[in-house]
Amino acid sequence: MKTVEVGNNVKVHYVGTLVDGTEFDSSRKRGETLEIEVGHPGLIAGFTNALIGMTEGQTKTVTLAAAEAYGERRQEALQRVPKTAFDPGFNFILGETIQGSGPSGPFLAKILELEEEEVVLDLNHPLAGEDLNFEIEMVEIEGGTDFATLKVAELKALAKEHGFKGYSTLKKSQLVELLSN
């Protein structure tokens, strides 16, 4: 049985929730797995780290601190922008998410405050500052390590991680069989 390593292409199902249980994303609701290359930039680091060592069919739940997810909220990401920077007739709605274009390219921002001449935009990621829970199911691994190629100590570490009992006295062939089922 294969285990996930950096560089593998994998397919996962996941459900993301906030600490209070509010669901913010679900591959199951979209009806398709997330296909990623493990370690590829663009995926939050804590999620990638949670995938490493998983086996096909395994499900795990992880909690990521804000720093491992989308980072802490940054005060410097709040920007005052003159209303004249928007198209004439733009409908400013407090709390609305807008899309714009700046010197660094396109961005999303939330309208935090409306003043007579200016608007305060929050450029933080909507989930910045939030601890996140993910339930992850490893559906498929392309590439990866076959258990038979691992050393006994590595097999025992995996058995411990998977919560198996009595693994410490098993021989290599028994460990491979245990982990392969």
What pLDDT shows up at residue 93? 96
Alpha carbon distance, N-terminus to C-terminus of the chain: 8
What pLDDT shows up at residue 57? 94
Per-residue pLDDT averaged across 174-179, rounded? Answer: 78
The token pair at 150 is 């691992």
Average pLDDT, the chain: 90
Per-residue pLDDT averaged across 12-17, rounded? Answer: 98
Single pTM value for the model? 0.70
Question: What are 114-163's pLDDT values in tens digits?
Answer: 999 999 999 999 999 999 999 999 999 996 556 677 788 888 887 887 78
Beta strands in the chain (DSSP E): 2-3, 9-18, 23-26, 34-37, 59-64, 78-82, 97-102, 105-114, 118-122, 132-142, 145-146
Q: Give the position of tokens 């609305």.
A: 96
What pLDDT shows up at residue 107? 87
Q: Give the position of tokens 């739940």.
A: 61
**Cβ atoms of 10 and 36 closer than 8 Å:** yes
Q: With the C-alpha atoms ordered 120, 103, 100, 24, is the resulting torsion angle positive or negative? A: negative
Domains and their CATH numbers in the chain? 1-74+127-146 (3.10.50.40), 75-122 (2.40.10.330), 150-181 (no CATH)
Beta-carbon-side half-sphere exposure of residue 55 (alpha carbons within 13 Å): 15
List beta partners, residue 14: 136
Per-residue pLDDT averaged across 57-82, rounded? Answer: 96
**Cβ atoms of 135 and 25 closer than 8 Å:** no
Question: What are 22-69's pLDDT values in tens digits?
Answer: 999 999 999 999 999 998 888 898 999 999 999 999 999 999 999 999
